[in-house]
Amino acid sequence: MADEDAAPGTAECRTGAGRTAAGCTAAGCTTAGSTAAGSTAAGTAGASAALTRLTALQRNAAVAYAAISDADAALESLAGQRVAGERVLRGALARHQAASRALAVHKRTKPGRLAQLVTGFRAGREWLARQADLNSALLEATVPLTTARRTVSGVKREFAAQVHARAEAVAALRRLTGECVTVLAEIGLGEARPAGTGLAGAGPADGGGGEGVGASPSRADQRF
């Protein structure tokens, strides 16, 4: 009887009869409280993990955004280099064609046997000397033409590489944007966007159209 008086809530908690908050508290029944505390701790840990993941995603998105900006700058530069290179190529090609035509015309003016006999073979010697000069001119015109073609080809290859790198960065930014949105939804921030990564507004990745990352190519890409 003394034991029952000493712990009036114990029997109630053991039997489940008339279980009350006061009785359970007096008897030390803290299961419900422990569960609530555990849930709160788990929720806090989950939110912390989500925020950590969001920070990593924002950092990677910033890297992808910077890569897109760098690619756009490189494409602008390469577009200018191609314009200059093609100008040089056109000039070199014109000089090479002129030298080639001059040589072809000269070959058709080769003096015949009679002309050589009349001039004491002077006409033949002069024709050969002129042909040597024209061959040298053609060779000299070939060197800058080859160099200009190689330069333009190199610019085109680099441009293609930058377009590929930009496309990869755009795809990465799209993926990271989606993952950021998912994490933000998990921690209850809805449609918010991570700041400082270009996800909150238009930028190099979407051409300023606001219709999603990579919606349009860069200006250099359109001109090239």
pLDDT single digits (tens) 123-154: 778 888 998 999 999 999 999 999 999 999 99
Mean pLDDT of 150-171: 97
Residue 59: Cβ within 10 Å count: 13
More confidently predicted of 82 and 121: 82
Q: Are 61 and 43 in contact (CB under 8 A)?
A: no
Q: For position 118, what pLDDT does the model report?
A: 65
Residue 170 has pLDDT above 70, yes or no: yes
> For 203, which DSSP code?
-
Average pLDDT rounded to a whole number, residues 57-70:
96
Percent share of the chain, pLDDT over 90: 46
Q: Which residues, in sequence order, are CB contacts of 62 under 8 Å at separation 6+?
A: 196, 197, 198
The pLDDT-based confidence of 187 (bands split at 50, 70, 90) is confident
What average pLDDT is seen over the chain?
74
Handedness of CA 154, 156, 162, 167 (dihedral sign): negative
Helix 31-108 to helix 122-186 angle, to the nearest 10 degrees? Answer: 170
Q: How much is the pLDDT for 159?
A: 97
Question: Per-residue pLDDT tens for 1-11?
Answer: 444 444 444 44
Q: In 10 A of CB 172, how many CB atoms?
A: 19
Domain borders along the chain are 2-27+52-223
Q: Which residue has the higher pLDDT, 184 or 36?
A: 184
Share above pLDDT 70 across residues of the chain, in percent, rounded to a whole number? 61
